[in-house]
Structures are given as C-alpha cells and as structure tokens.
C-alpha cells in the first residue's frame, strides 16, 4: 500500500477501527479474569491464526478450565481448536496463572501505564516475565487491553505492509530486540508524519491482509 492508498483506506475504516479500539479499552477496564484471558490469547497466537486462538480461549473460559484446569486438560482444548505447539502453550498458560491468579482473582497488571515510555517498559516487563511471550506478543496484549497505542506489533502482516509503504527496505529474516526497536521507531515516525495513530495503522494493515478488523 502506498501512502495515498493508506490514507484513503484509513479514512474508510477509521470508524470501525475506533470501535474496535474502544472494545479493547473496555476489556482493559473489565475484570482481572478478562485481562488474564487476553494475555492467554496472546500466548496462543505465535504460529496460530488469531481466530483459532480466540476459539480456544473462549472454550477455556466457558468451561472455567482457563482458571482451574491442569496443563493436560488445557492442552486437549488447544488441540481441539487447532492451536499449534499446544503442549508448550498449555504449560505457559498454567505458569502465567500461577504468577498472576489466585483462586478467585487474576491481577496481571495492577496499574497499566498511560504514557508512551511506560507502555514500552511494561511490554519489556511482560516479555521478560511471561514464558511464551516476546516483544510482539507483549505489545499485542497491551494493545488488546487498551494500553498499546504507541507500540508496534511486528508480525508478518505488518512487516510486509511496512515494506510496501517504504517504511522499511526489506522484511527481516529474524527480529532481534535491536532490530525490533529500529523498525518500531521507523513505524512511529511514519505514523507521526502522516497523522495516523500507530494502533490504527496496525489494525488497518492487519485488515488489509486478513479481510477483517479483529485483534
């Protein structure tokens, strides 16, 4: 997508994007269990389609297994939904639950940061303390609970479109922390120059690849 196409697409989809972002903010203001479920969704997304991960999480929430079951029972639900690497991811969910949840309450984040620097610091904390979560997934989680407006979620869809827009010269074969930060800065500068919020551009690019504004 070239810049004129990006701006035109943003104008067409801006209302739908804002509605989705408002939904994310409501999730972030919801119960601790809702926020924890969103964290678990982001644990499932690597190498797995978002819709598949969402189906698995909804099933686990519906049965209560997300908050009480052992790794084997969670693994069966992930396998049923079609989540890749279900065995490891079921263990990551249990470990995250042990870290953030008590019997009746989950507290992933007591106070979510509101400024840009705070968002990046919280992302690094999550990536460093939750197994199965890297920078991309930690940013994804924060965006999905209304606190990732200044963070890039550099999956293959976003990288492909950043290259198409001329923001980066090529899609990297791998993303080190340094390379991630470099591309994120380029995306942030591009968004500021063209007056498109970063979390808007993420959903815009994602919808261009998948045909929907989801999460």
DSSP-based helix, strand, coil % in the chain, nearest 5? 70, 0, 30
4 catalytically annotated: no
| 203/9 Cα distance (integer angstroms) | 11
Q: Which member of 155, 163, 186, 193 is catalytic?
A: 155
Active site annotation includes 136: yes
- How is residue 31 written in tokens? 């119960």
For 11, the token pair is: 């104008």
From the candidates 89, 136, 202, 215, which is the catalytic residue?
136
Q: CB of 146 within 8 A of CB of 25?
A: yes
Tell me the CA end-to-end span of the chain in Å, nearest whole number. Answer: 20
| Whole-angstrom distance, CA of residue 119 vs CA of residue 150 | 7
**Residues 104, 115: Cα–Cα separation, whole Å:** 30
- How far is Cα 128 from Cα 152, in angstroms, rounded to an integer? 17
The answer to whether the Cα torsion of 185, 16, 78, 61 is positive or negative is: positive
Q: How many Cα atoms occupy the beta-carbon half-sphere of 116 within 13 Å?
A: 9
- Structure token pair of residue 142: 């924060």
Q: What tokens appear for 158 in the block?
A: 């976003």
Enzyme catalytic residues: 136, 155
């Amino acid at each position: 997508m070239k810049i004129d196409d990006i701006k035109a697409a943003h104008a067409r989809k801006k209302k739908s994007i804002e509605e989705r972002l408002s939904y994310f903010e409501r999730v972030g203001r919801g119960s601790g269990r809702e926020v924890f479920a969103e964290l678990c969704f982001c644990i499932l997304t690597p190498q797995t389609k978002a819709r598949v991960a969402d189906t698995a999480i909804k099933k686990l929430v519906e049965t209560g297994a997300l908050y009480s079951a052992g790794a084997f029972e969670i693994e069966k639900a992930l396998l049923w939904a079609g989540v890749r690497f279900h065995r490891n991811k079921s263990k990551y969910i249990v470990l995250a639950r042990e870290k953030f949840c008590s019997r009746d309450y989950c507290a992933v984040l007591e106070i979510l940061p509101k400024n840009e620097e705070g968002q990046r610091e919280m992302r690094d904390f999550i990536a460093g303390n939750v197994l199965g979560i890297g920078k991309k997934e930690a940013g994804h989680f924060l965006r999905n609970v209304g606190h990732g407006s200044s963070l890039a979620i550099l999956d293959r869809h976003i990288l492909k479109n950043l290259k198409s827009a001329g923001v980066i010269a090529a899609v990297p074969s791998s993303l080190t922390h340094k390379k991630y930060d470099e591309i994120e800065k380029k995306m942030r500068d591009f968004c500021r120059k063209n007056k498109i919020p970063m979390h808007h551009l993420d959903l815009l690019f994602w919808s261009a690849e998948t045909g929907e504004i989801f999460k």
